[in-house]
Amino acid sequence: MNLVIIDYGSGNLRSVENAFKNSIKTNKLNFTIQVTNELELISKADHLVLPGVGSFPDCKKGLEDVKGLVKLLTNEVINNRKKFLGICVGMQLMVDFSLEKKRTEGFRWLDGYFKKIGKKGLDYLGRDYKIPHMGWNNLQFEYNNHPVLENITENEQFYFVHSFALKSKKPNQIIASTNYSQKIPAIIGKENYMGVQFHPEKSGNSGQKFIYNWLKWCP
């Protein structure tokens, strides 16, 4: 199997690459990994990973600056049913649009839009919630038997860094959520494509379990 991590000038690519390499080596999986923005190599991949760090508009522009990349991704994921994982802003790009800085269109693969997290109430220590949401949180499963959640419990912690949360009218596309002043979708997906708001590459053993589950998932 060939996995491509898409390089469009955004994201901690080395950390993502190392996390996937570690999972592949530890679990003795038959995968090769490439980090590239070359359309020909992306089109030949079996698995696609889109990281994203920074703002939604900047990440979208970075993708658009690679001529033909957005069109190719939609064709490979939606039409050719390649397995896809979006991480953080890579997940956010999968929906209709974001209101970060200005309204910016996403891929429109999944329903919804991203709006800034509200500061509602106090955290468990009685403090005001801080934005961005930065730190460790557990998941609440909305889809208990999804293969990517295998051997992961709701007590396990994952690492989040973000200021915007998904608003969607289609709860069936939400696989798991977290709570930070409000209920926030943490894993979303449909058919062969999936996104995570947390950073699996920074989430220790729990992140490694998720990566392994995603790699062996057969949608």
Tens digits of residue pLDDT in 20-65: 999 999 999 999 999 999 999 999 999 999 999 899 999 999 999 9
Q: 130 falls in which pLDDT band (50, 70, 90)? A: confident
Residue range 180-189, pLDDT digits in tens: 888 999 999 9
Is 201 labeled as catalytic in the residue annotation?
yes
**127 vs 110: CA distance, rounded Å:** 34
**Catalytic option among 17, 76, 88, 100:** 88
**Catalytic option among 47, 133, 162, 199:** 199
Is the Cβ–Cβ distance between 190 and 196 less than 8 Å?
no
Is 199 labeled as catalytic in the residue annotation?
yes
CA distances from 140 to 34, 106, 186, 216 (A): 33, 26, 9, 22
In the prediction, which pLDDT does 182 show?
A: 87
**50 vs 70: CA distance, rounded Å:** 11
Residue 73, CB-side half-sphere exposure with 13 Å CA sphere: 28
Sketch out the chain's domains with CATH numbers.
Answer: 2-98+110-216 (3.40.50.880)
**173 vs 12: CA distance, rounded Å:** 26
Among 74-78, 101-105, 112-116, 127-131, the minimum mean pLDDT is found in: 127-131
In the prediction, which pLDDT does 140 show?
A: 95
Is the Cβ–Cβ distance between 197 and 135 less than 8 Å?
no
Work out the mean pLDDT of the chain and round it to a whole number. 93
